[in-house]
Structure 1
Amino acid sequence: MKHTRHNTAPADGDARKSIRPVICYPVDTLPKPEMHLYTAARKTMKLVDTVIVAPREASVFRVPAGHFFRIVSVEGAQVGDLNLWSEGDLNERFYSGKTRALHGTHLSTGDRMWSSFPHLRPMATITWDTLDWYGFDSDGGSVHDVIGTRCDPYTHHLLSGQDYHHCCHSNLTRALAAETGLSLQQAETHVHDVLNVFMCTGFTRDSHQYFMKASPVRPGDYLEFFAEIDLLGALSACPGGDCSAEHSSDTAACYPLHVEIYKPDQTLLEGWCSPEPSGYSGSHGERPGC
């Protein structure tokens, strides 16, 4: 919805609005992914495991550092919600907001998924995207966004007054609880904002609201990542299917997704090592002795 404006513009209103924007986080000094190593290594990789994510459900998977993984469309147009954690520490998890600030609203080849404070390091680097041809359409939509959060039962109840249990938030919660032995309540605290894989989204030009439209994904499409650290991942096959109509539905056509894990020739990664956590001191300006 548009906000009602109660005030007229001041005399210098146009001048204030015409000031040029400044990029908040220039990335010229951002550590660059070693794409030449990944490109060579991915040519040798061999499939070592496949995890099937059933429609309207989520599955957990593990990827050792130095391996690749793919999220693959296998039967029909289907979007997925991806969470990542450090395998050894659930408190280190994918930070979608900082990833968005560094790389923009939608991710593709060469972009990285960054972890939460105090670690702030690359968790995974996107090494191939079969949908990179899509770019941005005339509506301002693109694929693989970090602007949405995940469909959840709380917002669903807020807007409809009804409970719905197979939204992505609940799917991820159940899957993480089953994998780790945590209670549902404990697991839920670790579920976080996602990478919306294959989802086509943007902001409307009039009301500036978050929108979705039918995903362009087709069977055989995939988004491929290189695991920079040992990863625990969870992927939900969204109950909205291709999200052309709604994202919490028992009637939308939904399909499984596959997570394929690949091991490359490790000799081709010579010189690569997992990134260290942030070098920030952690003092937050506190004076010694305080």
Structure 2
Amino acid sequence: MGGKVAAAYQATRGSVLDVDRAFYDGLTERAGRRRRVASHRVPIRDGLAWEVKAGQVFRIAIVDGAQVGDFNMWHRHDPRERMWASRTRQLQRAHVSTYDRLWSTLPFLRPMATIIDDTLAGYGEDAEGGRVHDLLGTRCDPYVNRLLTGEDFDFHCHSNLVRAVAPWGLTEFDVHDVLNVFQCTGLNDDDQYFMKACPARPGDYLELFAEIDLLCALSCCPGGDLSVDLWGPDARDPLSTCHPLAVEVFEVESERLAQWQPPESPAYAGGHGRRDPDVDWADLKDKS
């Protein structure tokens, strides 16, 4: 019955949710108009951070075997603007794919990146209700591990991301809720979060277009392909299921971007109901 209820947030013609699919299709590998400018590998149980300029494309890819990756993203020049998983769930969906956008936090609230290609787009919903590229859950971390097991275990996505962004001057407090790339998840009959074995295979990838200058970070999840229970009576170390991930960055021909502009934040000029005639709230926002 729930599937028949209309979404609360809906696109109107010409709004930022009304995606120009032809434009983004023209940026994919199939369109053949781009050049690789960077290539990285994320080792198993480790993290990586990298820069992407506005107007570039980046790809996260499976190389040796099924593997989940936990992804964070910030504005390169102002890390206060970062990916907002919960608003993205509302504006797009809980499991994202081609033409969905990853949105930034308030007061910025704009698309940071748009998914332009996804080899798992046809996975859909499986028999247990699982879907891929998850925004429902978040990164594994040593704190929840201590909470559930009473033990310290150093291999977690949160820790990988903390290490990855440290050279850019960011800290543990900057790491935020993630996009779980290639991860298959859902909600069971008791409305509880579940994870399944990753369905991705070598050659699969998720590709995104950078709408603004970005700092990206990816953890090669220490849970590997999630085919092994991480907690509970059957839990064991899933090291044997871990594989590296690849990251590539591409430039597209400038003429393809001739009509494109980086998105702007909503022009809200109010003061959140505050009434002080001596304060220009819009000016304060511009300076924040």
CA distance in 2, matches of 1:255, 1:247: 16
1:133 aligns with 2:122: yes
Shift of 1:247: 4.8
User: Deviations 1:78-102 (Å, cap 9, x if unpaired)?
Assistant: 0100000000011100000000011
Gaps spanning 5+ residues in structure 2: where? 232-236, 279-288
* Deviation readout 1:207-259 (Å, 9 max, x if unpaired): 22100111110000000000000000000000111112235845342111011
- 1:157 — aligned with what? 146
Pick aligned residue for 1:109 from 87, 98, 115: 98
The residue number in structure 2 matching 1:289 is: 277
CA contact (8 A) 1:213 1:245 kept: no
Match of 2:41 in 1: 52
> Quick one: which amino acid aligns to residue 217 of structure 2?
A
Does residue 188 of the first structure (1) align with residue 172 of the second (2)? yes
- Cα deviation for residue 115 of structure 1 reads 0.3
Correspondence for 1:275: 263
Residue 236 of structure 1: which of 202, 219, 238 is its match? 219
SS at match of 1:133: helix
Partners of 1:146 and 1:196 within 8 A in 2: yes
Any stretches of 5+ residues in structure 1 without a counterpart?
A: 1-16
CA RMSD of aligned residues (A): 1.8
Distance 1:256 1:267, change over 3 A: same
The 8 Å contact of residues 27 and 116 in structure 2, kept in 1 or not, is answered as no
> Is 1:34 the counterpart of 2:20 in the alignment?
yes
* Aligned counterpart, 1:218: 201
- In the superposition, relative to structure 1, how do residues 92 and 163 fare at CA in structure 2: closer, same or farther (>3 Å)? same
* Structure 1 residues 124 and 188, CA gap change in structure 2 (3 angstroms): same
Structure 1 residue 25 and structure 2 residue 9: aligned?
yes
- Distance in 1, matches of 2:101 and 2:36, equals 22
* Structure 2 letter corresponding to 1:237: C
Asked whether 1:95 is paired with 2:81, we answer: no
Which of 189, 194, 202 lines up with 2:186 in the alignment?
202
- Cα deviation digits, residues 178-204 of structure 1 (max 9, x gap): x2145xxxx101000000000000011
Match of 1:262 among 227, 247, 250: 250
Task: Give me the whole-angstrom Cα distance separating, in 2, the residues matched to 1:262 and 1:22.
Answer: 37
SS at match of 1:98: helix
- Quote the offset at 1:37 in angstroms: 1.9
Question: Which range moved further: 248-257 or 131-140?
Answer: 248-257
In structure 2, what is the Cα distance between the partners aligned to 1:115 and 1:252?
Answer: 36
SS at match of 2:239: coil
Amino acid at match of 1:175: A
Q: How many residues align?
A: 267
Give the structure 1 partner of residue 284 of structure 2. none
Inter-CA distance 54–46: structure 2 relative to 1 (3 Å threshold): same
SS in 2 for 1:81: strand
Q: Distance in 1 between matches of 2:22 and 2:207?
A: 15
CA deviation after TM superposition for structure 1 residue 278, in Å: 2.2
Give the alignment partner of residue 61 of structure 2, picking from 69, 72, 78: 72
Secondary structure of 1:172 counterpart: helix
Whole-angstrom CA distance in 2 between matches of 1:160 and 1:247: 10
* Runs of 4 or more above 6 Å deviation: none
Percent of paired sites with the same residue: 48
TM-score (norm 1): 0.87
For 2:206, the aligned partner's letter is L
Contact 2:224 2:239 in 1 (8 A): no
The answer as to whether partners of 1:204 and 1:210 remain within 8 angstroms in 2 is yes
